[in-house]
C-alpha cells in the first residue's frame, strides 16, 4: 500500500542518528500512539502512565509552555491518556486544536462522516474483531484484532473516500476517513503561529505515515522530524527505536533544561 505525503523521503537504507537533546528554543510536538504510548488491542486500553505524565508535566514549564501533543486521537482521549499534562494539543489530525491558553477550534464535520461511520459499522458487524471509532469529525476502522480483514477493510475505505470526498488516512492497523482540510502538518504550523511556540524551533516526533506532513512542516519552520520505530522512507532527520527510547530522550531533555535553570 502506498500513501503519498508529498515528502522528499530519505532513502530506506540511510541510517538516521539519535536526535540531539540540546536544541535552543525547542518547541516540542509529540504524537501519541507509537510515540508516547505503545499500541494496545483496542484504543481504549491505552492507559495513563506515571512516567509519561511526570515527564510531560516537568517539560512544559521548562520549555516555557512550548510542548504540544499532535495526534489522530480526539482531544478528550489525549487528555485521558496524558492526564491533561499538555495544555496545548491537536486532535483528529488537525481538525481539533487547543492553544496553550485553552482556546479550542474544531472544524465542522463533513456530512459524509455519518455515512462512513455506518458503512464501517456494517463491515465490523460482519468481521468479528474489527472496531469502529467515531470521532465526530472522522471515523476509524480498526482491524488489529481482525488482521485477515485488512484487504477488505482497505477496499471499503478507499471506495468510501472516492465516493464521498473524505480523506483516507491509513495508520497502524486502521483505516481512517476524515473531514478534509487539515493534517498534522497544518496543526503544527497553526500552533507555531501562536504564543508561546512562535519563534521556537519545532521538533516533531511521529511514527506513521500521517506524521510525515508534520515532519515536513517542522523542517519548513527551521526544525526537524524524529521518526519513532523501524527505519522506512521518511522526511524525518533523526530516529528513535520506540516508546521507551522516546521517554528516555524526554527525560534527558528535562534533565538538561533543569540544570540550565539551576545554573
How far apart CA 246 and CA 146 sit, in angstroms, is 29
| Calculated CA dihedral for residues 183, 212, 147, 142, nearest 10 degrees | -20
Q: Known catalytic residues?
A: 31
The DSSP letter of residue 43 is G
Omega of the bond prior to 72 within 30 degrees of 0, cis? Answer: no
Place of cell 509519561: 52
SS3 call for 202: strand
> What is the 3-state secondary structure of 91-114?
ECCCCEEECCCCCEEECCCCCHHH
Q: With CA atoms as reference, report the closest residue to 56 among 251, 188, 239, 259.
A: 251
SS3 call for 80: helix
Q: Are strands 88-91 and 96-98 parallel, antiparallel or unpaired?
A: antiparallel
Dihedral sign computed on CA atoms, order 234, 239, 245, 251: negative
Amino acid at each position: 500500500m502506498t500513501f503519498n505525503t508529498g515528502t522528499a523521503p530519505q532513502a530506506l537504507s540511510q541510517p538516521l542518528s539519535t536526535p540531539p537533546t540540546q536544541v535552543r528554543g525547542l518547541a516540542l510536538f509529540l504524537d501519541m500512539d507509537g510515540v508516547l504510548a505503545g499500541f494496545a488491542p483496542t484504543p481504549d486500553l491505552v492507559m495513563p502512565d506515571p512516567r509519561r505524565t511526570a515527564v510531560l508535566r516537568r517539560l512544559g514549564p521548562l520549555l516555557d509552555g512550548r510542548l504540544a501533543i499532535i495526534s489522530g486521537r480526539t482531544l478528550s482521549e489525549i487528555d485521558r491518556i496524558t492526564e491533561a499534562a499538555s495544555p496545548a494539543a491537536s486532535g483528529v489530525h488537525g481538525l481539533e486544536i487547543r492553544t496553550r491558553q485553552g482556546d479550542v477550534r474544531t472544524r465542522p464535520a463533513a456530512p459524509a462522516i455519518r455515512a462512513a461511520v455506518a458503512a464501517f459499522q456494517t463491515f465490523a458487524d460482519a468481521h468479528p474483531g474489527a472496531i469502529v471509532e467515531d470521532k465526530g469529525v472522522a471515523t476509524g476502522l480498526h482491524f488489529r484484532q481482525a488482521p485477515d480483514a485488512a484487504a477488505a477493510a482497505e477496499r471499503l475505505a478507499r471506495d468510501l473516500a472516492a465516493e464521498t470526498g473524505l480523506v483516507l488516512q491509513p495508520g497502524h492497523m486502521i483505516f481512517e476517513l476524515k473531514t478534509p482540510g487539515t493534517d498534522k502538518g497544518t496543526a503544527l504550523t497553526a500552533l507555531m503561529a501562536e504564543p508561546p511556540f512562535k519563534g521556537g524551533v519545532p521538533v516533531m516526533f511521529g511514527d506513521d505515515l500521517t506524521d510525515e506532513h508534520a515532519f515536513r512542516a517542522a523542517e519548513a519552520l527551521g526544525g526537524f522530524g524524529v521518526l519513532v520505530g523501524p527505519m522506512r522512507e521518511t522526511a524525518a532527520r533523526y530516529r528513535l527505536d520506540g516508546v521507551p527510547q522516546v521517554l528516555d530522550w524526554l527525560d534527558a531533555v528535562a534533565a538538561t533544561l533543569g540544570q540550565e535553570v539551576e545554573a
